[in-house]
Chain A
Amino acid sequence: MELCYFLTLDSFITDPLTHDFMRKALLMSSLVAAVCGFLSSYLTLKGWALMGDAVSHSVMPGVVVAYALGLPFSLGAFIFGVGSVALIGFIKQKSRVKEDTVIGLVFTGFFALGIVLVSKIKSNIDLHSILFGSPLGISLSDVKQTIFISLLVVILLSIFRKDLMLYCFDPRHAKTVGINVFFLHYLLLTCLSLAAVVGLQSVGIILVVAMLITPGATAYLLTDKFDNMTVISVLSAIISSLIGIYVSFWFDLETGGSIVLAQTFIFLFAFLFAPRYGIFKLKKLFAGYK
């Protein structure tokens, strides 16, 4: 029966919009995708993919504790997100263990703590929605929080856009001309924690790192200009979210997984056909026909 719907693209797109929860999910996920996509440019260029993975997993116990105490879950997530990075830095400096090992052991430790807490605290926390996201069941208070955090991150990134680019590109020069590198480091980290918090509502803790790195990686293959990279990253993130939600609606699939899969497919497409950096280099193919 469902197949009939695809005969008209119109109803494929408009039918879900008649549902209130779908409109909210589409809007919220697009907003979250835009924020994560914006940040994604910086994280991929800075080489912070693993850091993104670490922070997003480490927020887990924060979310659980905040829920249990009746606090905004973003607050708990933020504290544990930044805390994990501080702990990684501390252990790295005070021991001979290599950095990637430290990152791995700290975030899995935090994540495990979160899972244990969920089983102990037995409240109305839905483990499934934390792990895999629940954009279709987002509550009104979560909507407000998400909008507030998203705007905050977008404003911060916009103001310090160029400084952050310089910090990712050449921190030594930044320091030499008196730009506060320490501040920029923690600013990027703060934005990362906040983006992970809003991102986990869309796709869940396990997959949120994809929102933070895949759009940036896709954009990186498509352009040589930083500003274009940011725009492409944001757009590809938003499009993936929309595709993911529609597809999950019609085929009854897990929403978070669908969004991330859409991002992965867009990346693969860029990987294969990007004009300059794809393996088939479309530019060259077309040039052959001229």
Chain B
Amino acid sequence: METINYQNFRIEAENICVDYNGKVALYDANLRLKPGQICGLVGMNGAGKTTFFNALTGFVNISKGKIRINGESVRSAQKDQTIAYVPQNEGIDSQFPISVWDVVMMGRYGSMNIFRCPRESDVQAVKDAIERVDLNEHLSTPIGNLSGGQRKRTFLARAIAQRASILLLDEPFSGVDIRTEKLISELFIQFKNEGKTILLSTHDMIHVREFCDLVLLINKTVVAYGETSEVFTPENITTTFGGISPDFLFGPES
């Protein structure tokens, strides 16, 4: 077990810019996260949340700026299995003919040999991960037959099996049942205690207050960043959402 140095930054993004064929999706964005921190990424649709994730995982190239993961390049973070990405439910083909077990095993691919033959340790890692998300009864269930919440837990298990130290979660609470929501929040606390760093995007303001130590408000660039209690103010939220008042966003029940 590697010792976690809580002083070093897990994620350091400096002035990063991403553009798609000349169309700017994100500019001058900064983020610094340490081990054990949970950060909420909040913004409108099209504000660059997914782009931010894509830049950190290396799925898109940044046109300017610098990203260091554990002090090293994104490329070596990929090689070291440092980052796990948990997609939105809408971001995956739920009709793909694949079982829960196979999806979670994909978390181990990066550290297997070229034929991706599971070793004893891989099988154990997958078993443990599935156990932690409480999907033991669905090992061989095709993902198409799962509920939204179970599918979300499957991809969380993949991230656990990968043993990544950084988790990027795209809308982890959207379209999930109460039981899954409770399980995910328990896992977050465990992850935090294990020293993992979590960056999650969400539409739900209540979840931000509940879990996130830090919050990053973005609208193509960083609107505000810092401790949730200081930054997550009605004024900042209004700015982030282009002038819409937070009362409207929170809804009548909050």
Contact = CB atoms under 8 A, between A and B. Distances in A.
The answer to whether A and B interact is: yes
Interface of A: 45, 93, 159, 162-163, 165-166, 168-170, 172-179, 220, 223-226, 228-229
Smallest CB-CB A-B distances: 5 pairs: A177-B110, A178-B78, A224-B142, A162-B116, A176-B57
Given A163-B109, A225-B142, A169 B92 contact: yes
Interface of B: 21, 54, 57-59, 75, 78-81, 83-85, 87, 91-93, 96-99, 102, 106-107, 109-110, 114-116, 142, 144-145, 158, 162
Nearest to A223: B97
A40 to B, nearest CB: 13
A176 B96 contact: no
B19 to A, nearest CB: 13
Given A172-B87, A175-B57, 6 more contacts: A168-B96, A169-B92, A176-B83, A176-B84, A178-B110, A224-B142
A240 to B, nearest CB: 21
A205 to B, nearest CB: 30
Contacts of B91: 172
Contacts of A229: 97
Contact of B57 (A162, A166, A172, A224): A172
Which residue among A172, A179, A220, A228 has the maximum number of chain B CB atoms within 10 Å of its CB? A172
Nearest to B98: A226
Contact of A173 (B54, B75, B158): B158
Given A170-B92, A177-B78, A178-B78, A163 B21 contact: no
Query: B-side binding surface: helix, strand, loop or mixed?
Result: mixed
A162 B98 contact: no
B61 to A, nearest CB: 11
B106 A170 contact: yes
A179 B109 contact: yes
A223 B142 CA distance: 10
Contacts, number: 76
B58 to A, nearest CB: 6
B115 A179 contact: no
Given A45-B96, A170-B87, A226 B110 contact: no
B144 to A, nearest CB: 7
Nearest to B115: A159
A226 B85 CA distance: 23
Contact of A93 (B21, B84, B93): B21
Given A177-B78, A178-B81, A224-B142, A169 B58 contact: no
17 contacts: A159-B115, A163-B109, A166-B109, A169-B93, A175-B58, A177-B78, A177-B109, A177-B110, A178-B80, A220-B97, A223-B97, A224-B99, A224-B145, A225-B97, A226-B96, A226-B98, A228-B97
Contacts of A93: 21
Nearest to B170: A172
A134 B96 CA distance: 36
A225 B109 contact: no
A224 B78 contact: no
A173 B85 contact: yes
A172 B98 contact: no
Nearest to B50: A172
A220 B58 CA distance: 32
A226 B102 contact: yes
Contact of B109 (A162, A223, A226, A228): A162
Contact of A176 (B58, B97, B115): B58
Contacts of B115: 159, 162
Given A159-B115, A162-B116, A163-B109, A175 B59 contact: yes
A217 B92 CA distance: 19
Contacts of B98: 165, 169, 225-226
B85 A176 contact: yes
Contacts of B78: 175-178
Contacts of A163: 109, 116
